[in-house]
Structures are given as structure tokens and as C-alpha cells.
Amino acid sequence: MVGEKMGMYLKGINYLLYMVALRLKSIKLWYIRKTKGSKAGFEYSAKVGRDWADYTINRSIKMNVTVIGKENIPNEACCFIGNHTSILDIPLLIDSAERSMGFIAKKEMLKTPVIGYWMKQYNCVALDRENTREAIRVIQEGAENLKKGYSMAIFPEGTRSKDGKLREFKKGSLKLATKAKAPIIPVAIDGAYRAFEIDNKFKSIDLKVTFGKAIYTDNLTREEEKALMDKVRGFIARELNQE
């Protein structure tokens, strides 16, 4: 027990040091933007995000993630739509897809000292969940990112389901993709809540991330667009065995 606690303590120290180094990389970002321009700055920010996701999932917590369907992700800007059960879903999704993406995230997350800073650098959009009028602006901003060629992700349940149960999707959340006429990639993250949410302790666990086939939204009929939410949620429910 003492050895286990010491191991957790050392992991925490190592992660804290990593986060300090991560924040210092903002100096390099400033230099890249000044000498090479905003596009190069974005590419560097995206790499920092991918490296952080890899470090968090594979080297710090050491989760054993089985990824299925990665071949379903086309080589273009996509809108990833998944279930949300853990604070680890963002690094899990980035690392599993091996793709940089911006997230529709609650405004509090973008205010955190380190992760929030970097999320702002690669097109994450802050959402004030207490202001319903903000939803239109958020969807519009996210859709513009997709149109510019940047992948985005959204968890349409609106908040974490800490028991792993799939909740209903918020109305209008899929408009992020349909407004941009971007492909939707349904994502089922199975078991992530067991890594932290049960007792607020990080654990190395086995879990599965499944990417469904791309759903192209550029030529949907009105009826198909209305059925889109049920189609995406249905895929996730089946993969979680929660039909």
C-alpha cells in the first residue's frame, strides 16, 4: 500500500513538471508565430496538443486503449461526435484518432492555466452552459473552423455521464457539422469513466474507442438531417451495448 501511494505521488510530481514544461512551450509558440506566421503557429500548437494527449493517456496513466475503425476517418476536416463520461475523453479522442481537433468545451476548461491556454490555440470554442443564447454563436464559430479545414469535436450530451450511461443529446448539437457540410465521425468511448470518475483517482484500465463510418452531410435531405441525431446516437448506443 505504501509503495502504491508513493508511486501515485511520483506520478503526480512528474505530471506537474510536464505541465510546467508545457506552459513554457508558449515561448516557442510566440517565436514561431513571429518568424513563420499564424499557420505554422497553429501546427505547432496542434502538435503540442497531440503530444500532451499521448503523454497523459499512454505514459502517465498508462491506459490500455483498443482503437477500432480508425480507417473510417477520412483525410479531411471532420466533426467527431461522441459520448462523454470522463475528464479524460478529450486526450483519449485526440490520441485515438491521431488527429488534432478543436473541442466545444465549457468555458471553465478554457480558463485553466495550462490546458486552457493551449486549447485556445487550436480552435477550441468556449461554451457558457448557463447562457442558452450562446449556443448559436458557438455552433457558428465551430462550423467556421470546419469550413476552414480544421477538425472539431463535440460531446452532445452536454456534460459528463459519470456512470457510463448514454444520455440524450442536446437539440441542435449536430448543426456544428451540418452547417459546415462536414463529415460526421460517430465515436463510442467505452469505459473511460472507470479511469477516474468513480473515486477521483486515476487508474490504468482497459477500454475501447470505436470510430464509426463517416456520415457525409453535404447532400442530406431534410428528412435525413432530422434523423441524423438518432442515427449517430444509435451507433454509439449499440457500441456501448445500451440500445
Q: What is the pLDDT of residue 12?
A: 80
157, pLDDT greater than 80? yes
- Whole-number Å distance between alpha carbons of 116 and 190: 25
Q: What is the pLDDT of residue 235?
A: 97
Which residues lie below 8 Å from residue 83, measured CB to CB, with a gap of 6+? 155, 157, 161, 166, 187, 188, 189, 236, 240
Going by pLDDT thresholds of 50, 70 and 90, the confidence category of residue 227 is very high
Q: What is the pLDDT of residue 3?
A: 57
Question: What do you get for the CA distance between the two ends of the chain, in Å?
Answer: 40
* Alpha carbon 224 to chain centroid, angstroms: 26
Global confidence as pTM: 0.92
122 φ/ψ angles, rounded to the nearest 5 degrees: -125, 55
Which residues lie below 8 Å from residue 130, measured CB to CB, with a gap of 6+? none
Q: Which is more confident, 2 or 98?
A: 98
Q: What is the pLDDT of residue 5?
A: 66
- Whole-number Å distance between alpha carbons of 166 and 94: 21
Q: What is the pLDDT of residue 4?
A: 59
- Whole-number Å distance between alpha carbons of 24 and 11: 20
132, pLDDT greater than 80? no
Q: Which is more confident, 166 or 106?
A: 166
- Whole-number Å distance between alpha carbons of 160 and 205: 19
- Whole-number Å distance between alpha carbons of 208 and 48: 24
For 71-124, write each residue's pLDDT tens digit: 999 999 999 999 999 999 999 999 999 999 999 988 888 888 899 999 988 889
CB 192 within 8 A of CB 86: yes
- Whole-number Å distance between alpha carbons of 189 and 239: 9
2, pLDDT greater than 60? no
CB 80 within 8 A of CB 236: no
18-45 average pLDDT score: 95
- Chain position carrying cell 452531410: 217
Q: What is the pLDDT of residue 113?
A: 84
11, pLDDT greater than 70? yes
17-43 average pLDDT score: 95
What are the beta bridge partners of residue 121?
Answer: none
Tell me what the pLDDT averaged over the chain comes to: 91
